[in-house]
Each structure stands twice: as C-alpha cells, then as structure tokens.
Amino acid sequence: MEDVLVVKNLKTQFFIYEGVVKALEDVSFSVGKGEVLGIVGETGCGKSVTAYSITRLIPDPPGRIVGGEVKLGNLDLMRNIKDEARFIQKKRIKIKHNYKVIRNNELFFNTIRGKYISMIFQEPMAALNPVYTVEDQIAETLLLHNRTRLLKIMKSASNHLSELERWKDGGDIDIFDDELGEEIDKIKKTARGAESIKFHQDLLIEGARGFSKKMQKYEEMLKKSIERDELEDRLLTDPNPATQQEIIKRLAKESKKINLIKMSKQMKRNKKDPLLIEARRESFSLLESVDIPNPRGVLKSYPHELSGGMLQRVTISIALANNPKVLIADEPTTALDVTVQAQILKLLRDLQDAIGTSIILITHDLGVIAETCNRVAVMYAGNIVEMAEVKELFRNPKHPYTIGLLQSIPRVDDPNKTLKTIPGNVPNLINPPQGCRFHPRCPFVFDRCRVEKPVSIEVSKGHTVECHLFSGKVNAE
Amino acid sequence: MSKVLIDAVGLRKYFPIKGGVTGRTLGYVYAVDDVNIKIYKGETVGLVGESGCGKTTLGRVLLDLAEPTAGVLFYNPEDSVSSKVSELYKNLKTNKPSELKKEEKKLVEEAKKADVYRNKKRNREFRKKVQIVFQDPVSSLDPRMLIKDIIAEPILINGIPTEDGKRKKIKGDELLNYIREMIGEMGLNEDHLFRFPHEFSGGQRQRIAIARAISIRPEFLVLDEPTSALDVSVQAQILSLLEHLQQKYEMTYLFITHNLAVIRAVSDRVIVMYLGKVVEVSRTDDLFENPIHPYTQALLSAIPVPDPERKRNIVVLSGDVPSPANPPAGCRFHTRCRFAEEICTKEEPKLEEIKEGHTAACHFAREIISGQKKPAPAPTFST
Ligand SMILES: Nc1ncnc2c1ncn2[C@@H]1O[C@H](COP(=O)(O)OP(=O)(O)O)[C@@H](O)[C@H]1O
Ligand SMILES: Nc1ncnc2c1ncn2[C@@H]1O[C@H](COP(=O)(O)OP(=O)(O)O)[C@@H](O)[C@H]1O
Ligand code: SF4
Ligand code: SF4
Ligand SMILES: [Mg+2]
Ligand SMILES: [Mg+2]
C-alpha cells in the first residue's frame, strides 16, 4: 500500500517551570492510502501531542518539536523547524531578520497542512468559532482551500446554463464529464427531497449567471488557482529538495499577493459573487452528506445552538470540505453518548468509503478501535509500543501493556470475564522511568528493562513490538 | 429474594426554567418523572441511560440530597406497610385528602409516618446510612483539607456503628487509628493521610472519595459514574475495590453509569432510563441477552465490542434525544422508535412485567419479543 503520511522519530517536549516534559520520546509510524490507523492508549500517553505535532498545533512556548520527520508524500512538513534550528545555531547575529523568514515559512506550511491534513477534536467547539455561523465557517474553508473546484463548477455551469434551467423545469439532465457532472450525480444521490434539489438548482443557476457576467475576471482567477494547486501538488510529489525550495519560495511570494483570508472577507460582502454562492451550495451539500437533519437551519445557526453530536458532524463536514489526504480525529466520540457515537463512527466509515481519505483515529476505547480501524498503534508514555493489523493485535497481543489493557476492559459480550488490573499509573513525563518506560508497571520486568530502551522489533509481518522480551536475547516464557 | 431496602414511589423532580427580567418560571425540566423503583438488600443495581436522562438527579433525590417535587420514599420498610402503601400511591389519582376514601386516608397517614422525606426522625436515621460517590474526584474533595480530615468529616458528624447496632462518636487517637486501618484497605498508605487532594492521581482520589463515603459504614451507597473519568486500567482497580468492599461490609449499591460494559460487569439488576422515565428493569443477564424495550435494544447494539472478528448489527437511532423540558407526548421514545404506531404518540405506556423479573414500558413489548411486530426499516449497519 502506498504510504500517504510517514512519521519518523518524532520527538516533542514541553519546557515548563517544573522541568522538561518528555511527551514524545521516539514516535514512528506510517499511514497508508485509504487506511484507518487507530492510536490507542491511556490518558497522558501522548496521543494528542502526536496529532498536534503532525499538524503543528503544539503551543510554543512551552511546547517544541525537537526532532523527527513528518513526510506528506515527498514533502517534509517539519522541514522549516530544521531550518529554524539551523538559523539559530549558525547565524545567531542575524536572528531578527531570519525570524521573519521563519514566520513566512510557518504561515506557508500552515496553509499546506490546512489543505492536506484536517483535524477533528474531542470538543467540537475547539474547531469552531463561536461568533460565526456554521455556513460562514464551512464557506471560508472552501474558499481558502477548494477555490479551484468551486470555480470549475461555476464555469461549467455557465456553459450549461440552458440544461440546468431545463433540469429545474422538471426535465432530466445529462451527466457531464467534469466537476459539475459529478456534483449533479451527487445531488441526485444524496439530496433529501424535491425542495433540497430545488435549492441546489437555484444556487447553481444563480452562480452560473454571475460567472457569465464577469467571465474574464473569473477565468483569470481560475487559471491562477489551478497554477497554485499544481505547484502545491508538485511540492508533495517532487523528490528533489532543491526544486521544493524553489516552489516554496514562489508559493510564499504568491500567498502574500493573494492573501486568501482578506479576499474571502471581501467576497462575503458581495453576496452576488458566484464563488460565494457556490460555496454556500457546497456547504449545504456537505451538511447533507453528514446526515444533518434540517441542513438549512443548521447553516444559519451559531455553534452554541447545536448539540454535541450535531456539532461533531459540522466539524467533520468542515474537515472534509478540503478533501484532505489525511484526516486526524482526536477522540471524536469520547464526549458523546454511545448511540451518537454509533452515528458518528458510521458516518466516518461511510465517508472514508466514499472519498478514500486516510484517517488517523485517536481513542482510548479499544471497542472503537476494533470496529473502525484497519491497523492499530498502541501508545504508552510517549512511545508506540506495539503496532499491528487490527485482527492480529486483538488475537495476538505481544506487548505486556497491550495485554494489560485488553485484560482490564469489561466486555458486554463476556460478563464473566475477570478483570485484571495494571498496577500503578501512567508516569509523569518530566522524570519518566529509565529504560523501558513501562517497567515499573510491567509484570515481566527484568534487569535489562530498567536500563536500556527497547527498540522496535518485527515479530511477524507488519506486527512490531518495543519490548526486550522479543529482542531475541531473552526468550519469553 | 432478599428484603426490600428502598422503595421509591412516584418520584418526580422538576427543575423550574426561569427567564425574563422578572425571573418568572417559563416551564420545567422534567428530569425525573414518575419513577417507581425497589432496591433489595445486598444487591447492586445498575442505572443506565444517556447523558441528561436524569440518572444523577434520581440518585440525588433517592438520597434526599435534592428535594423531590413529588413522591414518597420508604427505607427498610416493613413489608406490610410498604407494599400496600406503595400500591396505593401508584394508583392514587389525586392528592386532595378530601377526595380520598376512608381506607386510603388511613394508608396515606401511615405512609407519611414511614416516608423518609416527611418524617424527620426517619430522615435523620436515613442520612446516617446512605452515602454517595461522584464521578469527578477533583471537585468532590475539598482542596484545602488534608486527606485525614476529609475522611474524618462524615465520622465526626455521624459516628460509626457499634456491635449492638447503635452508633458512637469517636475522636482523637481512636479516630486516627480507625482511619489508618481503612486507608490500608483502600490501597493507600498512611503517609497519604497528611497530604492534600491535588497530590494524588485520579484513581487515588477516587479511592479517597470512596474511603470517605464508606467511613461511616453506610448500608446504601450511590455510585454516580465512579469510574467514568478514569482510564481502563485504573477503572479495573476501582471496580475490584468496590466489589471487595461490598462483600465485606454488606452494602447495597446503586451504580450509575453510561458505560454498559461496566454495568454488565458489576450489577445484578439494571434499570434503564430515557428522558426522565424508567423504560426497562431486569436482571442483568436477561437485559443484555433479551432486551425488550426498543430503546434498550438500540442502546445495546451501539456499544462497540473490542473484538474485530465479531460482526454485529448496529441499530442507528436517528436524530438527538429530545429536550427534557419539552418531552414528546405519549411514549417519550416515539420520535426515534422503529416500532412506533399511532397509539405511541398519544398514550404513555406503563411499566409492566412482561416476563418474570423483567419489566418494560412499551405498548408493543409482547409483540416485539415474540417477533410478531417488525421494525420499520431504519439505517442499520454491520461491522
Ligand atoms: N501544554 C502542555 N504543557 C505541558 N505538558 C503537556 C502539555 N500538553 C501535553 N502535555 C504532556 O504531554 C503528555 C502527553 O499528553 P497528551 O498527548 O495530551 O496525552 P493523551 O492525548 O494521550 O491523553 C502528558 O504527560 C501531558 O502532561
Ligand atoms: N440543578 C439543576 N437545575 C436545572 N436543571 C437541572 C439541574 N440538574 C439537572 N438538570 C437537568 O435535568 C436533566 C437530567 O440531568 P441529570 O440528572 O444530570 O442527567 P444524567 O445524570 O443522566 O446525565 C438534564 O436535562 C439537566 O440539564
Ligand atoms: S521491555 Fe521489559 S519492562 Fe518493558 S514491557 Fe518488555 S518486559 Fe516489560
Ligand atoms: S411504546 Fe411505541 S414508541 Fe414507545 S417504545 Fe414501544 S413501540 Fe416504541
Ligand atoms: Mg488526548
Ligand atoms: Mg450524571
């Protein structure tokens, strides 16, 4: 399977008053195309820090990614961090000037990440702005990251205006072999009822008319947007770091010129803008695809007016608006009731089937892992201690922590199971235990564990364990 | 079956919704609405339902920590009074004394004497025998108190039971020794006594909260989501501690949680709530193997099972739980029920015994379990 995201030796620390929190010691894993990778572990194991490190949402200070590589295709997302370290080391004097370079770099990388990696959180409010309506927030994401698509649909719609009008009058519409065609197929499939279809039709036609009026302007915009997309995509595919650097420079210059945020604000003032109209229609369509009842009402709502389950659907739809390569979901159902959790997990699976995004699903619930993931990484105190295909992990757990976790969960389908406990607690990571960080709680601990950190060993194909019991020198009983 | 310890009849708790500048009451949140439950000596009763369905409120009302809007509560009732009186209250259509029959009046008088809410003496007795443990061990322990004082507080107020069934107050060295002994049993050690709550982990804090609750040797303990904030490995530790304590001190537990796997592991019987109403009561195994109420069925089907090789059919409920301030008429579940018919929107189903030891509140309970009534097609998916 083709790897979409590769994380290597990621190391993140927090520099706080009490000392250095060694939150991630050495985290490596990869996510395949269309795969759902689960990350499981108890509170404080570093699951969220892993997610935030990848998306660079670690608050700095006190947090800092001190090492490692996160590769999205051929692009190292941590690269500017290394630049930063180099700057600071070599050119101490020029630091003020270089700081500006770093900031620009940072902004640029944020855009890239926002476009290719989306994230949803346990608390949906964390991803939403309380003072904007749901519609504003979805539309903004679309305008920032999916402009090309919106323009292409509008362009095609303006070319097919008469067909669209006929469709609205009750006739059928033929499928075009482009974005608009796909969109119409989707509308026919997911739209709920005639009223919803009419809403789509009206907006498509209105947008198409707007586009035809200022054809030249929008054609120009589309051309630029396509160029930019191509550059960005090349960034991910081009293996040569020097070319990448070139592209980054060009894009950084461009982004100063375009300033997407300002632009989207301007357009919001102009309600007749076809781009904005299409963004509205697409927002509606996205809410329909995440099974939200009364999507038009929800679009006009503010976040606090919606229930937790509804909000989580909204954040999922925003995350998907970008059509990301990777979706990171950090405990997306932990705050929800089981029946709502079932709805949300079904939704994630359906969407994953439909659009093939790779998902990193973080949870502490092994039940959720078993039902949604293809592969699992078990985290303990800043390390991935075991990784395997989901069936293999549950059938054949190797790491003493994984075994302990599995034995400590009560099961509805097995009332007579005797619950075993893991003694002690997840350690404080300012002074983590030496050697294997699990050793104070491990029933199999032996001398070597207290001094030497175990390395990752492949015990069978695709199944890796970090534990001295499997390092060959000492045999497990 | 053993003796009834708690018999609650017609419990209601409505929270007023105030609004406007005048603070007028605009309506009510029907948090607990006409709940009748019996709890037997020595058992663990699980109380499940989704957040906001009234579990915590019911737990608090049962311990008289929140004043009920209506209802009577008998503690350790003598059989003769209890069953007759609770029958009466269940069927009582009116509260006006003038409209009661003579016989009924007599029973109502008797009930008032036995009712924990109304009889002051009984209320005082009751409070010495019941305790509660909350979900959040952080906010339930006073951060400025030493652990030893936290545990000592209820003992200083209520004393401890003696061999002859009375209670005595203890203090000084006797008290400290008593606490020392207890803390060992909780898996904590003596020098923990002279620390503050923030120095402990979540699991340890929950041990302290449990120590405090059982320090007066209660007969009845309400555990309100005691492990919901804890990790699974720590949860297992707390569950086994609770089981040990229950056997040793012969306590009766009401175990409130939204985690059905935990319910299955700990309880003898289960009460399922939906929007302020009890919808199903059953022995645990029977509930999990043969759920009757459509809500229970959907709830059970939604629990993820930690076994990737097990395939299940999940009933996906549509929409959200309605607001308890404006519950649907008739059966409160009808807006989401796959079996709903006309009658469900109009008439409220009564909680009835459908088979031995298994009651449910659904108009079509019998037809559903016999398979005569088929659900309307709804989104289900298999894993
Ligand atoms: N902002 C922060 N400051 C200091 N320490 C932090 C911060 N964020 C996380 N940590 C520490 O990093 C470790 C991992 O935390 P986290 O990734 O949130 O765990 P999980 O998501 O697995 O529950 C913990 O020890 C936590 O205390
Ligand atoms: N003190 C209160 N004042 C007003 N409403 C309350 C109060 N306590 C609980 N409620 C409401 O009563 C309902 C039941 O709440 P609760 O008993 O806490 O449910 P659960 O414990 O099942 O989650 C909820 O709608 C809640 O908002
Ligand atoms: S390395 Fe040693 S202490 Fe660590 S999990 Fe393996 S046996 Fe246990
Ligand atoms: S009474 Fe009707 S609506 Fe209520 S659970 Fe039974 S079938 Fe469903
Ligand atoms: Mg987390
Ligand atoms: Mg509660």
Q: What is the pLDDT of residues B76-130, one digit of tens each?
A: 887 556 667 767 776 665 556 666 777 778 877 888 888 899 889 999 989 999 9
Instruction: Tell me if B231 and A339 make a contact (CB, 8 A cut-off).
Output: no
Q: Residue B349 falls within a domain, yes or no? A: yes
Tokens 């396509």, residue located: A226
Counted domains in chain A: 3
The pLDDT of residue A248: 78
Cβ within 8 Å of residue A203, ≥6 positions away: A277, A278, A280, A281, A284
Q: Residue A379 falls within a domain, yes or no? A: no
Q: Residue A274 falls within a domain, yes or no? A: yes
Q: Residue B357 falls within a domain, yes or no? A: yes
Do A117 and A189 fall into the same domain?
no
Instruction: Tell me if A408 and B302 make a contact (CB, 8 A cut-off).
Output: no
Which chain B residues are closer than 8 Å to A309 by Cβ? 320
Cβ within 8 Å of residue A281, ≥6 positions away: A199, A200, A203, A204, A207
Nearest atom in ligand 1 to the alpha carbon of residue A16 is: 4
- Does residue B210 have a pLDDT over 60? yes
Do A289 and A214 fall into the same domain?
yes
Counting every residue written for chain B, the total comes to 383
Nearest atom in ligand 1 to the alpha carbon of residue A429 is: 25
Q: At A84, is the pLDDT very low, low, confident or very high (cuts 50, 70, 90)?
A: low
Average pLDDT over residues A59-78: 87
Tokens 């089937």, residue located: A353
Percent above pLDDT 70 for chain B: 93
Instruction: Tell me if A343 and B317 make a contact (CB, 8 A cut-off).
Output: yes
Q: Residue B303 falls within a domain, yes or no? A: yes
Instruction: Tell me if A410 and B265 make a contact (CB, 8 A cut-off).
Output: yes
The pLDDT of residue B140: 81
Q: What is the pLDDT of residues A147-199, one digit of tens each?
A: 899 999 999 999 999 999 999 998 888 777 788 888 898 888 888 888 899 99
The pLDDT of residue B256: 97
CA distance A14 to chain B (A): 20
Question: Which of B258, B300, B306 comes nearest A366 by C-beta?
Answer: B306
In degrees and rounded to multiples of 5, residue A68 shows phi and psi of 115, 175
In degrees and rounded to multiples of 5, residue B282 shows phi and psi of -160, 165
Do A269 and A331 fall into the same domain?
no
Ligand 1 centre to CA of A49 (Å) is 6
Counted domains in chain B: 1
Q: Residue A385 falls within a domain, yes or no? A: no
Question: Which of B304, B314, B319 comes nearest A365 by C-beta?
Answer: B304
Q: Residue B237 falls within a domain, yes or no? A: no
Q: What is the pLDDT of residues A257-275, one digit of tens each?
A: 555 556 566 666 777 888 8
Ligand 4 centre to CA of B336 (Å) is 9
Instruction: Tell which one of B15, B17, B50, B326 to mutate to probe ligand 2, the residue whose CB is within 8 A of the most ligand atoms.
Output: B15
Do A326 and A265 fall into the same domain?
no
Q: At A85, is the pLDDT very low, low, confident or very high (cuts 50, 70, 90)?
A: low
Cβ contact B122:B78 at 8 Å: no
Domain containing residue A438: 405-477
The pLDDT of residue A95: 47
CA-wise closest residue to A400 among A411, A386, A390, A387: A386
The pLDDT of residue B318: 80
Ligand 6 centre to CA of B134 (Å) is 9
Q: Residue B296 falls within a domain, yes or no? A: yes
Nearest atom in ligand 4 to the alpha carbon of residue B363 is: 1
Residue A325: give its domain's CATH number. 3.40.50.300
Do A176 and A285 fall into the same domain?
yes
- Chain B residue closest to A344 (CA)? B316
Which chain B residues are closer than 8 Å to A421 by Cβ? 233-234, 236-237, 240
Any CB–CB contact under 8 A between A395 and chain B?
A: yes
The pLDDT of residue B82: 61
Mark residue A469 as left, alpha or beta (left: phi above 0; alpha: psi -120 to 50; beta: remaining). alpha
Q: At A309, is the pLDDT very low, low, confident or very high (cuts 50, 70, 90)?
A: confident
How many CA within 13 A on the CB side of residue B218?
24
Q: Which helix (H) or strand (E) holds A375?
A: strand A375-380
SS3 content of chain B, % helix, strand, coil (to 5): 40, 25, 40
Instruction: Tell which one of A449, A453, A465 to mutate to probe ligand 3, the residue whose CB is within 8 A of the most ligand atoms.
Output: A449
Q: How far apart are CA A31 and CA A12, in angstroms?
A: 20
Cβ contact A422:A439 at 8 Å: no
Question: Which of B285, B303, B381 comes nearest A415 by C-beta?
Answer: B285
Q: How far apart are CA A229 and CA A158, in angstroms?
A: 22
- DSSP H stretches of helix in chain B: 55-62, 79-91, 102-114, 120-129, 147-158, 172-185, 202-214, 232-249, 260-266, 284-289, 294-302, 365-370
Q: How far apart are CA B58 and CA B64, in angstroms?
A: 10
- DSSP H stretches of helix in A118-192: 134-145, 147-159, 161-168, 179-190
Cβ within 8 Å of residue A84, ≥6 positions away: A102
Entry pTM: 0.89
Query: Is the ipTM reported for this complex over the cut 0.95?
Result: no
Question: Which of A337, A366, A394 comes nearest B258 by C-beta?
Answer: A337
Do A146 and A266 fall into the same domain?
yes
Round the average pLDDT of chain B to a whole number and report it.
89
Q: Residue A7 falls within a domain, yes or no? A: yes
Query: Which one is predicted more confidently, A463 or A259?
Result: A463
Q: Residue B360 falls within a domain, yes or no? A: yes
The pLDDT of residue A2: 86
Q: Residue A384 falls within a domain, yes or no? A: no
Q: How far apart are CA A281 and CA A204, in angstroms?
A: 8
- Does residue B146 have a pLDDT over 90? yes
| DSSP-assigned states of every residue in A331-360 | STTTTS-HHHHHHHHHHHHHHHHHH--EEE
Question: Which of A364, A412, A417 comes nearest B288 by C-beta?
Answer: A412
Identify the residues whose C-beta falls under 6 Å from ligand 3.
A 400, 436, 438-439, 442, 444-445, 449, 454, 467-469
Tokens of A285: 């369509």
In degrees and rounded to multiples of 5, residue A17 shows phi and psi of -55, -40
Ligand 2 centre to CA of B54 (Å) is 6
Tokens 């209320």, residue located: B123
Ligand 1 centre to CA of A25 (Å) is 12
Q: Residue A396 falls within a domain, yes or no? A: no
Q: What is the pLDDT of residues B291-319, one digit of tens each?
A: 999 999 999 999 999 999 887 788 888 87
Instruction: Tell me if A410 and B264 make a contact (CB, 8 A cut-off).
Output: yes
Q: Residue A40 falls within a domain, yes or no? A: yes
Domain containing residue B325: 272-382
Q: What is the pLDDT of residues B218-271, one digit of tens each?
A: 999 999 999 998 999 899 999 999 999 999 999 999 999 999 999 999 999 999
Do A351 and A472 fall into the same domain?
no
Do A326 and A464 fall into the same domain?
no
Q: What is the pLDDT of residues A23-57, one digit of tens each?
A: 999 999 999 999 999 999 999 999 999 999 998 88
Q: Residue B233 falls within a domain, yes or no? A: no
Cβ contact B295:B337 at 8 Å: yes
Percent above pLDDT 70 for chain A: 88
Residue of minimum CA distance from atom 1 in ligand 4: B362
- Chain B residue closest to A402 (CA)? B233
Do A52 and A167 fall into the same domain?
no
Tokens of B285: 């195994």
Q: Residue A43 falls within a domain, yes or no? A: yes
The pLDDT of residue A394: 97
Cβ contact B155:B215 at 8 Å: yes
- Does residue A474 have a pLDDT over 60? no
Instruction: Tell me if B232 and A409 make a contact (CB, 8 A cut-off).
Output: yes
Nearest atom in ligand 4 to the alpha carbon of residue B344 is: 2
Q: Does residue A324 have a cis bond before it (omega within 30 degrees)?
A: no
- Chain B residue closest to A369 (CA)? B306
Protein residues within 5 Å, CB atom, of ion ligand 6: B 56
Do A125 and A249 fall into the same domain?
no
The pLDDT of residue A294: 86
Task: With H, G, I as helix, E, B as strand and everything else as coil, classify residue B59.
Answer: helix
Do A108 and A168 fall into the same domain?
no
Q: How far apart are CA A255 and CA A261, in angstroms?
A: 10
Do A351 and A209 fall into the same domain?
no
Q: At A475, is the pLDDT very low, low, confident or very high (cuts 50, 70, 90)?
A: very low
Instruction: Tell me if B320 and A310 make a contact (CB, 8 A cut-off).
Output: yes
Ligand 6 centre to CA of B56 (Å) is 4
